[in-house]
Structure 1
Amino acid sequence: MNNANDRLLSLAGVGAVLGGALLLAGCHGKPDEVAEMPPQTVTTALVAMRELKGGQSASGRLLPQEEMAVAPDLSGFRVARVLVEEGAAVRAGQPLALLDDSLLQSQVRQLEAQLMQQRVAAEQARDQSARVAGLDNEGVLSNEAIAQRRFAARNADAAAAATRAQLDDLLVRRAHLTIRAPFDGTVIERTVRPGDTASVGTAMFRMARGGLIELYAELPERDASRIHVGDVAQVVLASGRTLDGKVRLLGERVDAATGLMIARIALPRDAELRAGGFAKARFAGARAALSVPDPAVNYDADGASVMLVDGGSRVHRVRVVTGEHSGGFVELRRGPPAGTRVAVKGAAFTLDGDKVKIAMATGH
């Protein structure tokens, strides 16, 4: 019994010693520290001026090279017939629509009858005037009667001439009741229907001269200086087809609201070209631009950014505005100046302020 008690007391003492040791360790000892992660390895490149080839592009609408609205010269006449539809290729002078001429026809017939009567009267007056020729102061007729016959002949001629002028005016108006194409071209819009009432200044048709459609490409003012009349451009249509075009004209005005100007790109005739359509142009040639390698730019919900590498091998995030992409490089339209070193490969795995290990520095 005494031996068993001695063993229990001995075990209790050992436990107390161990407990005290653990307690002392907890109070005075230090836990194992977490091992620090090694710095992210990155490659770097310089922000520099580089030649970007064929990277410039612009988009815009397809519009007629020369467009004209076709409107009637007379108001109040009903449209009797419409002779063409949108897309029709027409020749200069070809009838497009006919206005009802029944009102003018009756007036024309009235004036024709009146003119005929006046011509007969004028002929009679001239005959009577001719009969008194040489009878002045002869006593056969008074000088007053002779003068009256001569005045009557001239008056009859004047009346006939006035009626002839009125008739000519009606005939001209009647001719204008046929709406004709002003030039060779394509009808790109028809807004008139049979039964409509014509109104001066209200377009019935819109036409493209020669059927030529071109791209009105919108360019930022800073880019327009790199484009010249005669430059070749590849125009990509909405369907994906590509047409070869050429810069025909550069606009002289910059839009005050958007800062954009227009480059008009001439295109060949093609059935797929429709006024109002959308297309994109890619311009040939090279230009110098401040740029970095494509992988150096990171994109997130806030936009594009690059990671600058300072002299202490720490990175700092800087927001940028990018432009064209070409040959593995991206243009920086707004961002750090030339000569700044940025992280390239591995940059996406770093945070602002991280220390990095530079694996390979390059000026590319």
Structure 2
Amino acid sequence: MRSLFLAAGLLGLAACHSPEAPAPKADAQARAVNVVTVEPRVLAGTLSASGPLIPREEAAVAPEVTGYRVSRVLVEEGAYVRRGQTLAQLDPALIEAQIAQQAAQAQQAQVQAERAQAEAARVEGLDAQGVLSSEDVQGRQFAARAARATAAAQQAALRDLRTRAAKLSVTAPVAGLVLERTVRPGDLAAGGATPWFRIARDGQIELEAQLAEADLARVRPGQSVEVELTGGARVQGTIRLVEPAIDPQTQLGAVRVSLPPHPQVRAGGFARANFASGVTPVLAVPESAIRYDADGASVMVVGPDNRVRQVAVKTGARGDGYVELVSGPAAGSRVLQRAASLVLPGDVVKPVQAAPPAAKAAPQPAAKR
């Protein structure tokens, strides 16, 4: 009987010291989540914007001299002119008479200067001989210097008149297309007047399209643009400049589009541009991967150890269900496909590579009746 109790006690003691069951591993408890890779992608889409047609560079031409009548106007609006070509001619009769009068005065002053110089040369050294006083000798020398200065001033006045005479021909400062002409024969050249001519340098006209601030990131200089003109014609332009400043009133930015020569491309007109965005690949993730909270936009990045961390991002263009990452994780990083998943920073997950979202079908144009 005692042996039975002893056996039962040994069995109970052995049961108390049995080995514990192994704890489940963290990987086994990790939640499976779909992840996508941050990689370069072309965001397809079309932007439309309109704006005025303006000269790329405009030159305003006005007379440089005033007080003379216009005798001839040699070009009309729409004419192509070369640099230095005469556009208008002022009447030279008045200034020619002034030049003749000034030339005579300059010649007279030159003669008087030569006479005074000769008189000063004759008395040079006579003060030492006692023939003339030093005061008389110095007086003639000063008179000679004054006469030379007067002759130089008369010559300068003559050169000024001749320069003015050369400016009676109003010339083109650049080669290009004459956009406007406001002068007529018989008009009097006056200071501060409206420019007589406006010239588009090299005849280059471009479109100044207005885009929203968010859309400016979708276009690049050098990108091809289809431009629809008011008359219905279509031409292919090229983005020359994306202006860096945004209008604080309208929150719009200007995009300059260079246009080829065309009969319907006229300064002051109106046109619409269709920007085929998505020419340059950008780092992008699906729209569902972006998480928004009080701190801004972010994505949930899965590290090499399958641990999740939250990374702030700055978004840009959108298209085909993707969002451009202007700043954020590097290319090749894995992010949760759905930021709204019940996953917190620091969690360990089991990543499953997800298929890319299907591109949205482009709308078909309506059939013409």
**TM-score band, normalised by shorter chain:** 0.5 to 0.7
Q: Considering only aligned residues, what root-mean-square deviation do their CA atoms show, in Å? A: 2.5
TM-score (norm 1): 0.63
Residues in 2 aligned to 1:290 and 1:244: alpha-carbon distance in whole angstroms? 25
- The normalised TM-score by structure 2 is 0.62
Write the distance in 1 (CA, Å) between the matches of 2:63 and 2:245. Answer: 33
Task: Return the alpha-carbon distance in structure 2 between the equivalents of residues 200 and 52 of structure 1.
Answer: 56
- Aligned position for 1:288: 318
Unpaired stretches in structure 1, ≥5 consecutive residues: 1-50, 292-324, 331-364
Q: Distance in 1 between matches of 2:94 and 2:44?
A: 68
How many Å separate the matches in 2 of 1:170 and 1:112? Answer: 10
Aligned match of 1:68: 59
Question: Are 1:189 and 1:205, in contact at CA under 8 Å, matched by a contact in 2?
Answer: yes
Q: Does 1:262 align with 2:254?
A: yes
Pairing partner for 2:224 from 219, 232, 237: 232
Q: 1:54 to 1:290 in 2, by over 3 A?
A: closer
> In the aligned structure 2, how far is the partner of 1:242 from the partner of 1:92?
31
Amino acid aligned to 1:212:
Q
Matched letter for residue 176 of structure 1 = K
Sort the Cα spacing of 1:220 and 1:140 in 2 relative to 1 into closer, same or farther, 3 A. Answer: same
Q: Deviations over 1:130-150 (max 9, x none)?
A: 222332311233323222221
Partner of 2:162: 171
Q: Which runs of 5+ in 2 are unaligned?
A: 1-41, 279-316, 322-359
Letter in 1 for 2:318: A
* Displacement after TM superposition at 1:82 (Å): 0.7
Q: CA deviation digits over 1:17-46, x for unaligned, max 9?
A: xxxxxxxxxxxxxxxxxxxxxxxxxxxxxx
Q: Indicate whether 1:222 and 2:257 are aligned.
A: no
What residue in structure 2 maps to residue 327 of structure 1? 362
Which protein shows a greater Rg? 1
What is the aligned counterpart of 1:250 among 242, 253, 269?
242
Note the 1:92-111 alignment, pairs <5 A.
92-111=83-102
Contact preservation (8 Å) 1:54, 1:282: no
How far apart are residue 192 of structure 1 and its match? 0.9
The 2-side partners of 1:176 and 1:276 are apart by 31
Task: Tell me if the contact between 1:52 and 1:327 (Cα under 8 Å) persists in the aligned partners.
Answer: no
1:143-200 Cα distance to aligned partner (Å, 9 max, x none):
2322222112111101101111222222222222221111111111111111122222
Structural mapping, 1:296-307, within 5 Å: none
Runs of 4+ in 1 over 4 A off after TM superposition: none
Aligned pair partner of 1:156 in 147, 159, 164 = 147
Contact 2:61 2:195 in 1 (8 A): yes
2:269 pairs with 1:277: yes
